[in-house]
Amino acid sequence: MNSYQQIPIEECGEPLVPIPLEKFAVELPHPYERLGANYGERSPYCLRQGVVTALEKAQFLLNKSYPGWKLKIFDAYRTVGVQQFMVDYTYGILLKRQGLPEHKLSPQQRQKIWDQVYQLWAAPSLDPLTPPPHSTGAAIDLTLIDDRGITLDLGGQIDEISPRSHPDYYAKSQDIKEQQFHRRRQLLERVMLNAGFSRHPREWWHFSLGDQMWAWLHNQNNPNNSVIARYGRI
């Protein structure tokens, strides 16, 4: 269990609502649907009402400094089934990289792959006390586009399994291009944090508001003013 999953949840009952996609840029077709993930009746482009409002605020703050730029939504809501699909898909990718069929792997080799998967992905838990962040409708993965509609390079792909995914990977670089990646990551972080979100400590693209991870991060920074999560699995 991750530390953040010990945070209690007091579900506030806010509905999951569609993201007004016309206000943002969107990765289309949806990256996980393209891989075969089945959302059933649900859409990945939904969030809790309060989270959509905060996302609109982040877009507004971005436009104050950078008119015409947009937040580009990669992924938002996921059922636990989709979380399971992506965890299994990522295991398959890492297995292929090893170049060995699964039955030839030792239990230790297998465990090493699972550890890598769970470095990046939350466990597809059906326990209401430990929901995957995206299954609460409170988490979003996103990047930036500029006023020409060009997706900006933030120095790595979303969902990349590599040290480059760490938000501060380029923080100390002397390379001009890499310093630009870092400034863009800082810009994305600034507008999202000022709108109320928290950023995942290991993923430059993942932000959430009101879920267990958000509360845990808040409490790390404000030990005298602790909060609990208001969004559970929906």
Ligand X SMILES: C[C@@H](N)C(=O)N[C@H](C)C(=O)O
Find which of ligand X, Zn ion, none residue 50 binds, CB within 5 to 8 Å per kind. Answer: none
* Residues 205, 14, 8, 189, Cα dihedral to 10°: 20
The C-alpha atoms of residue 89 and residue 91 are separated, in whole angstroms, by 5
Token pair listed for 155? 């120095």
Q: Which is nearer to Zn ion, 14 or 141 (CB)?
A: 141
- Ramachandran region, residue 40 (left: φ > 0; alpha: ψ -120 to 50; beta: rest): left
> Of the two residues 33 and 179, which places its CB atom closer to ligand X in the complex?
33
Q: Residue 48 interacts with ligand X (CB under 6 A)?
A: no
- 14 annotated active-site: no
Between 22 and 140, name the residue whose CB sits nearer to ligand X: 140
**Which of 48, 72, 206, 233 is the binder for ligand X (CB under 6 A)?**
206
- Does 159 sit near ligand X (CB under 6 A)? yes
Helix 49-65 crosses helix 176-194 at what angle (to 10 degrees)? 130
Residue of 14, 102, 178, 203 marked active site = 203
Q: Any known ligand binding at 168? A: no
Q: What CA–CA distance (Å, rounded) separates 231 from 201?
A: 20
Name the residue with the smallest CB distance to ligand X. Answer: 122
Question: What contacts 13, CB < 8 A, 6 or more positions away?
Answer: none
103 among the known binding-site residues?
no
Sites for ligand X among residues 67-126 (CB under 6 A): 120-122
206 is in an annotated binding site: yes
Binding site for ligand X (CB under 6 A): 120-122, 132-134, 139, 141, 159, 200, 203, 206
